[in-house]
């Protein structure tokens, strides 16, 4: 994200807050003028900072997004925006009261290929979404339940988001817990478009031009509601209904 912010046409990296000052200074070396701060509070109190990117563990998204909004900052919050729909609604209400922009960092929504792909689908019938990444460290915070980690929120949020983008809101939700294994890892590659930079620039345009963000916070709340339903349907002892039909398609 630092590289995307630095490359954006309408923003610049002013400062980064970290508990590890030496590490922060090392990460900021490619960005002349950017300052390393030793606390999150110092970042929120900095008058040069107009907007913040919240990349903290999922369990801290609500707290520090609310604190940033209260400090007068716009917030681009990493996905999932919260632990549940209730938290997302609280964050949205706070941003609305303060007149600040709040957007969930679903970068894939800003890739031109994805936008054209969804636009070209006339009558969608079925979506099968998979998201995988190499987990080299089993202590990775993205997998720690107390920090809001786990497959459902960390990567399942993408699968739910893209499915809703194409098919619309679910009529019913069913879920199952399982452990999948594959003999060969999934592979990917980078292309000429950087969706992170496109997302940052879109968010910057909304701030500078006072226009609504391209990924409305209501969309994020709706996504959290579906994730909440999946969590409930996959709980031990639950017999969730099988999904049938689809709701209104979201554009």
Q: How far does CA 242 lie from the centroid of its chain?
A: 27
Cα 62 to Cα 78, 83, 84, 107, 188, distances in angstroms: 11, 8, 10, 20, 32
- Give the model confidence (pLDDT) of 37-90 as tens digits: 999 999 999 999 999 999 999 999 999 999 999 999 999 999 999 999 999 999
Per-residue pLDDT of the chain in tens (251 residues, 90 and over written 9):
999 999 999 999 999 999 998 999 999 999 999 999 999 999 999 999 999 999 999 999 999 999 999 999 999 999 999 999 999 999 999 999 999 999 999 999 999 999 999 999 989 999 999 887 777 787 888 889 999 999 899 999 999 999 999 999 999 999 988 777 776 666 655 667 899 999 999 999 999 999 999 999 999 999 999 999 999 998 877 665 444 445 555 54
Q: In sequence order, what DSSP letters do the residues of 29-78 get, joined into one string?
A: TTSTT-EEES-HHHHHH-TT--EEEE-S-GGGHHHHHHHHHHTT-EEEEE
Alpha-carbon span 251 to 242, nearest angstrom: 25
Query: Residue 58: what are its φ and ψ, rounded to 5°?
Result: -50, -35
Given 79, 100, 136, 211, the catalytic residue: 79
Residue 136 falls in the annotated catalytic set: no
Alpha-carbon span 84 to 198, nearest angstrom: 27
Instruction: Catalogue all structural domains in the chain, each as residue range(s) with its CATH number.
Output: 50-233 (3.40.50)
Q: What is the pTM of this model?
A: 0.85
């Amino acid at each position: 994200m630092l590289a995307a912010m630095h490359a954006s046409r309408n923003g610049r990296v002013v400062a980064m807050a970290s508990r590890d000052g030496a590490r922060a200074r090392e990460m900021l070396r490619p960005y002349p003028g950017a300052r390393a701060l030793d606390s999150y509070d110092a970042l929120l109190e900095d008058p040069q900072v107009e907007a913040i990117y919240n990349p903290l563990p999922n369990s801290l998204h609500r707290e520090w997004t609310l604190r940033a909004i209260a400090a007068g900052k716009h917030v681009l919050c990493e996905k999932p925006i919260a632990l549940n729909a209730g938290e997302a609604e609280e964050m949205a209400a706070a941003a609305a009261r303060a007149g600040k922009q709040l957007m969930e960092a679903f970068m894939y929504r800003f890739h031109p290929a994805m936008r054209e792909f969804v636009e070209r689908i006339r009558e969608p019938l079925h979506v099968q979404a998979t998201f995988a990444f190499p987990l080299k460290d089993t202590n990775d915070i993205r997998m720690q339940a107390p920090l809001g980690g786990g497959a459902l929120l960390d990567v399942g949020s993408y699968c739910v988001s893209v499915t809703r983008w194409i098919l619309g809101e679910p009529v019913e939700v069913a879920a199952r817990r399982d452990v999948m294994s594959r003999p060969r890892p999934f592979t990917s590659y980078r292309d000429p478009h950087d969706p992170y930079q496109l997302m940052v620039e879109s968010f910057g345009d909304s701030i500078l031009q006072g226009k609504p963000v391209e990924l409305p916070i209501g969309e994020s709340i709706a996504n959290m509601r579906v994730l909440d339903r999946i969590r409930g349907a996959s709980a031990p002892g639950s017999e969730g209904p099988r999904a049938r039909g689809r709701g209104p398609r979201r554009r």
